[in-house]
């Protein structure tokens, strides 16, 4: 006989900007290190510069986008709660 399923844990809300900033910082450090290597970086390995630059750009975009995303989620939750209270649609 199977054990009954335990309830799901509560969602841990954190400031998502912290790991995004740390990841962006890591990409920036990697880019600086590769640029500091200059001609020591083999021509066949120069694509890593673009990987770091892309990671940095995406990290900065994510850092700027997160507040908007969280605001939109909160607004959607408020609309959903209001709809449930008034009985104006499926819950």
pLDDT, one tens digit per residue, over 39-84 is 999 999 999 999 999 999 999 999 999 999 989 999 999 999 999 8
pLDDT value at residue 23: 97
Q: Indicate the pTM of the whole model.
A: 0.72
pLDDT value at residue 65: 95
Domain annotation covers residue 69: yes
Domain annotation covers residue 30: no
**Cβ atoms of residues 24 and 56 within 8 Å:** yes
Domain annotation covers residue 68: yes
Number of structural domains found in the chain: 1
Domain annotation covers residue 83: no
Domain annotation covers residue 14: no
Range of the domain at 72: 46-78
Residue 8: Cβ within 10 Å count = 6
Domain annotation covers residue 53: yes
């Amino acid at each position: 006989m199977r054990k009954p399923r335990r309830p799901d844990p509560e969602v841990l809300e954190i400031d998502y900007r912290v790991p995004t900033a740390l990841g962006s910082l890591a990409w920036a450090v990697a880019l600086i290190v590769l640029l500091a290597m200059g001609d020591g970086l083999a021509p066949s390995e120069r694509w890593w510069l673009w990987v770091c630059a892309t990671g940095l750009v995406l990290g900065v975009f994510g850092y700027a986008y997160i507040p908007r995303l969280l605001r939109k989620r909160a607004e959607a939750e408020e609309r959903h709660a209001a709809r449930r209270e008034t009985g104006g649609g499926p819950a």
